[in-house]
Chains A and B, each alone.
Chain A
């Protein structure tokens, strides 16, 4: 029989939901008040546009694409609109939802409300690490009527191989981008706002890592489906001090849950990890595993590593450290001017974001994943072979092979994070049932 744990709802849950809801509305309504709005990747250097003023509102494309995917009908219309315009359906799922929205001239809010027209940004601002990001916003800009677009090239390699020359390459681009933003918006850049944003960014990202680490406890105080909602603020606007504050509240509450033995689910008997963005329209995969098997998803290199700041690979490139990276305060670094701030944000992101490390070699991702399995005391890996993102799909099968060789049970199911048409629900349940049966895990109802 599965052991019973106490469960209780998260007190901060509604704060996170409200922030997200308001975020999309703020972007939509920004122009009513003469504010600035920019669009770009969730991996963009979020802190940099903050120097344009207190009234600067971003729209990050990947979470928007995921939100669209959640509303299956809207998503289908957006995807088909894009396809009719000649957009190949094997491109990034988020991108196709985003371009499709622009082409339909419809914007969807978190409650599913559809608004016209699609709100046009003053500029697009992104990074480029996979084959898609810069080109995504370039084309979006063309579709919207030559919206100025700037992409920061961050292709300098993994954090443990960083040197000053590589950091300088990124910093110089960030400096240029500030001049560019000033020209476009006609605003004078405020370095104090930049510094404040850079500090908030580091706080948000490191605090999220601390929260994820608490899931090493048994019972796990959080489960991944809820963490998708919780981590979302990092991909929306992590450099917003209000976001940092929310993560600090969540950290306190999660610590308290651990202290009191509060679990994410009341019958945790099986702990597993995942490793890719989920099929957003089918998050019931997670609930199925919880309800049927008492299986808790602890997290993933995706959920922890997309926006969390971790020490990562050691200098020799041999050992992965799932330890939260230090904030400027914890590192004893004072940030007092633009150069300091840009250098900090460049180095912090390049060095400590797992999502910016493992695309440079599957050796990194193998070591990183195996270490996660050990540290979080996971019994298995359930992989989403995600056709919607080529970056996250990279090395995935190599990791699978590596884990199997290390006697870690691995199940795989196919899908697409952002194209609901590419998911076979019944088949996925079959994969899960067969996998659990092979491991001798009985359904709770059969115990």
Chain B
């Protein structure tokens, strides 16, 4: 028998990176003499920044109540965007050399422009990333945007990004994606040695640290997972589907602190599989290869709709596949309040899950999660899923 799954040191490392994200970035700056760029959405082509010697770090919220964004952002903009902007206005990201956004939703767009104006930063970049990623011309168009972006990064950093540097960055990023997918394979087991909490921390931390370093920890984790001892009851196998979600308290409550056994075996959100599932497929034209990766990745609902020759949502095809492959018993639709792109998909998503015979629970969350209320609802949901076992 190997180590106890819950005590694997790599899990502690992921959590520590998240807790000390700002210190990590500052130290990285000192040790590498490089620049750090905060990004607001996972459509940012990090490979190009990395190739230019820049560390991309994702700007996430703190889940603390705040009151400083209301003069700038409407109340009906999502709590995530308020929380992100609050971090900037409060100076918690004061070490950033730059910020950027690859066009995604309106809420983050306004956060970008308000941050750019109200929080001093040396460099900022807004990329006109295509919305219609399902249309046949999106990759070609995005390639042009990437060319402009590469030049901007080169001018700012005083570097020249050659094919060699792009290849190296692609390799590091692809490796990170491959390793995390390998970790996810363990979640298909009857008793997965990794819970949703640890999986989420793995992915979030990958958005905050140097991927090379992250890869080293992932490699050692994969070794340990092979014979890790699972000493918890897996219970109901849950999938989480929804908006940006880095609220670890909710995961702790569901997996460790309530009356029914349950384990998240898959996270379909941008701090989960949507972030890393797809790799860059190398081709001679590096920027086209990167463009295709970002256009073809599991889409955010903000970019997923029918086009010429395609009727449906690409994301739903993935959800259906993952539900089956990971043997999901039930789904929690975790909705960032006021997140329009997800809200627009939810009626159809419920229909999809109904058709798949997957029971589902809808929860809407805010900057802070009402763990007590959610506990009651999750327990009721789990109990209802377990009714079949009770009576048959």
Contact = CB atoms under 8 A, between A and B. Distances in A.
Interface residues of B, number: 48
A408 B305 CA distance: 42
A136 B346 CA distance: 12
Given A130-B106, A155-B131, A179-B308, A91 B74 contact: no
Contacts of A152: 132
Interface string A132-150: 1011101101100010111
B365 interface: no
A131 B307 CA distance: 16
Contacts, number: 141
Given A86-B346, A135-B341, A363-B113, A151 B306 contact: yes
Interface in A149-183: 149-153, 155-157, 165-166, 169, 172-173, 176-177, 179-180
Interface stretch (A27-35, A251-259, A393-401): A393-401
A390 B105 CA distance: 10
A88 B343 contact: yes
B321 to A, nearest CB: 21
Interface string B264-304: 00000000000000000000000000000000000001100
Contacts of B337: 90
A361 interface: yes
B130 A155 contact: yes
Interface string B133-144: 001111011001
A49 interface: no
Interface string B88-99: 000000000000
B106 A359 contact: yes
Given A132-B344, A135-B344, A176-B135, A390 B106 contact: yes
Contact of A135 (B128, B137, B307, B345): B345
Contact of B347 (A87, A134, A172, A397): A87
A116 B14 CA distance: 58
Given A172-B137, A395-B110, A390 B340 contact: yes
A131 B74 contact: no
B103 interface: yes
A151 B135 CA distance: 9
A180 B132 contact: no
Interface in A261-283: none
A393 B72 CA distance: 11
Residue among B71, B306, B311 having the largest count of chain A Cβ atoms under 10 Å? B306
Contact of A86 (B77, B307, B350): B350
A368 to B, nearest CB: 14
A128 interface: yes
Interface string B335-372: 00110110111111010000000000010000000000
A135 to B, nearest CB: 4
Interface in A25-80: none
Given A90-B338, A169-B130, A394-B106, A128 B305 contact: yes
A142 B347 CA distance: 11
Given A138-B305, A362-B110, A362-B113, A131 B105 contact: yes
B230 interface: no
B308 A150 contact: yes
Nearest to B105: A131
B346 A88 contact: yes
A85 interface: yes
Contact of A390 (B77, B141, B305, B347): B77
A128 B301 CA distance: 13
A237 interface: no
B73 interface: yes
A90 B366 CA distance: 14
B62 interface: no
Nearest to A401: B71
B88 to A, nearest CB: 15
Contact of B301 (A135, A173, A362): A135
A390 B306 CA distance: 22
A385 B72 CA distance: 12
A410 interface: no
Contacts of A360: 126, 128
B109 interface: yes
A102 to B, nearest CB: 12
Contacts of A86: 346-347, 350, 362
A391 B106 contact: yes
B390 interface: no
Residue among B107, B343, B345 having the largest count of chain A Cβ atoms under 10 Å? B343
B113 A148 contact: no
A131 B302 contact: yes
A190 to B, nearest CB: 20
Given A151-B305, A153-B132, A180-B308, A393 B113 contact: no
B129 interface: yes
A353 interface: no
Contacts of A138: 305-306, 313
Contacts of B76: 90, 387, 390, 393
Contacts of A90: 76, 337-338, 340, 343
B343 A155 contact: no
Contacts of B308: 150, 176-177, 179-180
A363 B118 CA distance: 12
Nearest to B110: A394
Contacts of A401: 71-72
B128 to A, nearest CB: 4
A421 B130 CA distance: 36
Interface in A77-111: 85-88, 90-92
Contacts of B74: 385, 387, 390, 393, 396-397
A142 B337 CA distance: 24
B351 to A, nearest CB: 8
A139 B348 contact: yes
B132 A146 contact: no
Nearest to B109: A394
A212 to B, nearest CB: 26
Interface of A: 85-88, 90-92, 128-132, 134-136, 138-139, 141-142, 146, 148-153, 155-157, 165-166, 169, 172-173, 176-177, 179-180, 359-363, 385, 387, 390-391, 393-398, 401
The 6 closest A-B pairs by CB, nearest first: A153-B132, A134-B305, A135-B344, A169-B141, A157-B128, A131-B340
Given A153-B130, A394-B109, A395-B110, 7 more contacts: A131-B341, A135-B344, A156-B141, A166-B144, A169-B137, A362-B113, A363-B113
18 contacts: A86-B346, A86-B350, A87-B343, A132-B344, A134-B132, A135-B305, A135-B341, A135-B345, A148-B311, A150-B308, A153-B132, A155-B103, A172-B137, A176-B135, A176-B307, A360-B126, A363-B117, A398-B117
Interface of B: 71-74, 76-77, 103, 105-107, 109-110, 113-114, 117, 126, 128-132, 135-138, 140-141, 144, 301-302, 305-308, 311, 313, 337-338, 340-341, 343-348, 350, 362
